[in-house]
Structure 1
């Protein structure tokens, strides 16, 4: 995975020119061209991506969660969008597209960050797999897609424990583990009583991919340093009732496990994060790392 990521960074360093003109205002640069049928609407795609701004600031990468994204190819919504670009490729190809930010919202639902200048972003892709729809009956094609998704999920499930072990070893950590499987390292020990269900807990948090890159933080300075600052959100501590499903299960558990003043690093297996199904942001069986600081605990008055 790391070698692939380094390869893509080298591509970015080398692709300042040589782009070809595509439809509308799209530009593209083919890095590797495998023989094969071009991607068509209805085909199912499995690809890795990195997208960056024109000044080379990283916005998102599928390598952060070490899992390719999987989705059906669509008909272009407008000339020069990302689906127009993908239609130029086949299985095994890699390319960089210079696209208007509006195009990216269609495929990744990522609006242009307020702090980003310029009209375009660079979107580098590597097509790992194409399941062609062709003339197959829906029943046959859907069965093929389901089999691929099941195989992919099984591979991700089998690899998860290794990802966590490598993270712990690479960072020279000695975590403790709760009965649920939550790993934790106390960075600063707090004091006082633990929260009980119904108590109100105020806490700061920072969420990271297993690669270490931050994807969310309640703290403004942290978000700005990580390049994820969003003018539209307030950066304030979270106030939550302990014992309720407030965040992901691993963080919910931590709110009941540590006293006020504690700073702790949590390593969440996917079962304590977004599970085997994942969601629109996190693929299935994605472990995550959270830093949590318990700022205050207000007792509910209930025994």
Structure 2
């Protein structure tokens, strides 16, 4: 009877292991392939571009390259410590996707607190290998050209998607937009009064900035600001002052504010090249190549005083 119980326990354990689909690697990493493509596996010195999503066991996303708008690149090197997720890379090839579970206790020294809000025993990484370029010397011009060509292709693909996304947003919202020569699209939803803002004027304004999917990333409006992931209750949410033409804001604002006057309200759709471009901003707050939309209200316009004393010009040293 006891022997039968042992056999049943072993069988149940094997079944559970098979069901979970996770294997154990050096350093205690647990991994499971979601997609396993054929092809050469990653070797030391290879260029690797991969998308990564970091979650906890409650399935809450803690970070994602998808939010940043582009995969993470690296030249693969053997990990220097046990439990590093890159230890799995030599098992992967281009197109593979894998889930990796890392015991949180192995990542922090004894007594060191876990990240705020962390739930569960494991950090979970979902990785998809987008591109592998066979190893070469980092100064090898051929190797470098292959990498450069790859990034150029990513950029071109992102730029092609942008106008499609903008047009869909405008159509879905049924906006009646006017397009400037530089590519800003705007609709004045409430006319103002007085002359338009000019370079040198100070615009006092309220704003809410969104991605085209509707996600609020910043606002001067307290109610809209509460929708921001990084909402700070200590911040004073109130109209801001922008000296137009002084380089304090993105080019989309520098140009767009010149279309408005006191009391006016408008919707702007700004292409990424006039916003945060290829770099984006923050940890995925604004992804790379992200067009943005803003609701703008001009509360006041402080006109430039033509009689104000000009700042002294620096004296240049004499030519030698």
Is TM more than 0.5 here?
yes
Equivalents in 2 of 1:262, 1:98: separation in Å? 53
**Does the 8 A contact of 1:39 with 1:130 survive in 2?**
yes
Structure 1: give runs of 5+ residues left out of the alignment: 1-16, 102-111
- Cα RMSD for the two superposed structures: 3.9
Q: In the alignment, which residue of structure 1 is the partner of 2:94?
A: 91
Q: In the alignment, which residue of structure 2 is the partner of 1:131?
A: 133
Determine whether 1:30 maps to 2:42.
no
Equivalents in 1 of 2:192, 2:115: separation in Å? 36
The secondary structure found in structure 2 opposite 1:179 is: coil
1:91-170 alignment, distance < 5 Å: 91-98=94-101, 116-118=117-119, 121-133=123-135, 138-170=140-172
Equivalents in 2 of 1:22, 1:204: separation in Å? 53
**Does the 8 A contact of 2:47 with 2:76 survive in 1?**
no
Give the drift of 1:133: 1.3
1:102-251 alignment, distance < 5 Å: 116-118=117-119, 121-133=123-135, 138-219=140-221, 221-229=223-231, 235=237, 237-251=239-253
**TM-score with structure 2 setting the length:** 0.69
**Does the 8 A contact of 1:182 with 1:269 survive in 2?**
yes
Which structure has the larger Rg?
Answer: 2
Give the drift of 1:92: 0.8
**Does the 8 A contact of 2:70 with 2:288 survive in 1?**
no
Equivalents in 2 of 1:113, 1:172: separation in Å? 43
Equivalents in 1 of 2:179, 2:257: separation in Å? 15
Give the drift of 1:143: 1.5
Once the two structures are overlaid, the 10-residue window that deviates more, 263-272 or 289-298, is 289-298
| Count of residue pairs the alignment pairs up | 278
**TM-score with structure 1 setting the length:** 0.72
CA deviations over 1:14-43 (Å, ceiling 9, x no partner): xxx655555557544321111233334433
CA deviations over 1:193-232 (Å, ceiling 9, x no partner): 4322222223343333333333344455434434333579
**Does the 8 A contact of 1:133 with 1:141 survive in 2?**
yes
Give the drift of 1:57: 3.7
Equivalents in 1 of 2:89, 2:80: separation in Å? 13
Q: In the alignment, which residue of structure 1 is the partner of 2:270?
A: 268
Distance 1:221 1:52, change over 3 A: farther
Equivalents in 2 of 1:186, 1:100: separation in Å? 54
